[in-house]
Amino acid sequence: MDPIAVTSSGQLRGRTTEGITAFLGIPYAGDPVGPAAFEAPAVVKPWDGVREATTLGPTAPQPPYEPPMDVLLTNPIELGPDFLNLNVWTPGGTGLPVLVWFPGGAFRNGSNAIPAYDGSAFARDGVVTVGVNYRLGVQGFGVIADGPSNRGLLDQVAALRWVQENIAAFGGDPSRVTIAGQSAGGMSVATLMSIPAAQGLFQRAIVQSGSAEATALASDGALVTAELAKRLDVPPTAAGLGSVEIPELIAAQRAVAIELRQFPDPQRWGVTTVKAGGGIMPFFPIIDGELIHERPLDAIAAGAARGVELLMGVTSDEFRLFSVPSGQSAAVTAEALPLLLRGQGIDPAIADTYATNRPGESPGEVLSAIISDGFFVLPTIRLLEAQSAHAATYRYEFCWRSPLAGLGSCHALELPFVFDTLGTATSPLFQPDPPQELADRMHAAWVSFVTTGSPGWSQYDATARPVMTFGHPESRVLENPRADELALWG
């Protein structure tokens, strides 16, 4: 007989496979439908009897990825009102460490239904694993006059409170919680580290390909929402935006994102929106004076996450996922490189060192290396150094290269290695023969950190700057790699 767990809202029936029980689609907040989609998360209505938790729940409203990303990144979409749900994988027992995963996707895509995020391998290794959906796009992060900002983050806090209240019913210890995320999920984790509302809800954090600097002023965020509402011919309010059918809302949101990407004018969209979002993200966390009071990096440097052990990592060629499949990298000429760097606020002079260190690489590949450092590596170092004064921190880099030509070790490539889900990874990013031995090593390092607070190599410090490099056939610790390039940034 499949096991039953008793939660604060009612009983759940999971399904056990090879000793791991999965409880799927568990609601942790009320259905955000209509105007409620632009309000704080509501309390779940209790149910009678036993609720089946054996199939994945709906995903947050979102657009599909566009070609070629739709082939490279798996992103199932299933509409339904109860998308504020979470999944739990457990081996049974008591007092086990807990990993809470927040998916990435530029704050407009992603869910806990992505096959790579199956938590069975973590549960197999003694970690109760929780995958969380949260509101995305304008529903999650649009600024409106009559509702709270940062609703997607409020969802995440509500999910963490659910974990504190209920995870013991699944064998987890609420005093041993690690939060983790990649890309926008990593930005979410860094932000959660900085805000009073999340203090005490977790003890460790993992940030993969994220930063503590992706926040905008509320006044700038309001410009984006106003433009969206204008396109829909509704007021930028909970009632106005909540009256729009989901397909129409998503279509307008997509149009705004495309226009922002093509014409990232700070006067139109707001200086902090364009800067913090890199000109590609219209919706993300807002400094609203209620949930978020300052840039997360500054709050963390002042001790907001005192005692929270931190593991951070990047991939070696982050930006290639965005520049190579789109054809942008191939289009960059030597003459255009300085202009493109200057447009990103980067001193073009640094390109000389990067090009010298990469003989034979094209101007587009040099540009990708520089942008990868500016948007991923340098923010990782700044957050590590800010938190190192308050807790143990660790750094790693994922170096295995995709078999797809030109992509290298690109953004999102490490995810099935972390979750040890290479067996179900169908993306051409990983095929035809991804090294299981590398997944064994990287997954084990995360398990070790979640369980003990150490991934198995020396702590980060601003002098030696040790980095565990996960490659195949070898993984090893390097001290202060690429010091000459990183020093150029100041």
Catalytic residue among 188, 227, 329, 411: 411
Rounded distance, CA 219 to CA 269, Å? Answer: 10
Pairing of strands 475-479, 96-102: unpaired
Check if 411 is active-site. Answer: yes
Catalytic residue among 9, 120, 183, 211: 183
3-state secondary structure the chain: CCCEEECCCCEEECEEECCEEEEEEEECCCCCCHHHHHCCCCCCCCCCCEEECCCCCCCCCCCCCCCCHHHHCCCCCCCCCCCCEEEEEECCCCCEEEEEEECCCCCCCCCCCCHHHCCHHHHHCCCEEEEECCCCHHHHHCCCCCCCCCHHHHHHHHHHHHHHHHHHHHCEEEEEEEEEEECHHHHHHHHHHHCHHHCCCCCEEEEECCCCCCCEEHHHHHHHHHHHHHHHCCCCCHHHHHCCCHHHHHHHHHHHHHHHHHCCCHHHHCHHHHHHCCCCCCCCCEECCCCCCCCHHHHHHCCCCCCCEEEEEEECCCCHHHHCCCCHHHHCCCCHHHHHHHHCCCCHHHHHHHHHCCCCCCHHHHHHHHHHHHHHHHHHHHHHHHHCCCCCEEEEEECCCCCCCCCCCCCCCCHHHHCCCHHHCCCCCCCCCCCHHHHHHHHHHHHHHHHHCCCCCCCCCCCCCEEEEECCCCEEEEECCCHHHHHCCC
- Name every residue whose Cβ is closer than 8 Å to that of residue 420 and which is 6 or more positions away in sequence: 121, 122, 439, 440, 443
**CA 374 to each of CA 163, 213, 271, 381, 423: distance values in angstroms, whole numbers, following the listed order:** 35, 12, 18, 11, 33
Rounded distance, CA 433 to CA 423, Å? Answer: 10
Q: Computed from CA positions of residues 447, 452, 453, 455, in that sequence, does the dihedral angle turn out positive or negative?
A: negative
Give how far the C-alpha of residue 67 lies from the chain's centroid of Cα atoms, to the nearest Å: 21
Catalytic residue among 39, 213, 227, 318: 318
**144 touches 36 (CB < 8 A):** no
Check if 211 is active-site. Answer: no
- Active site positions, annotated: 183, 318, 411
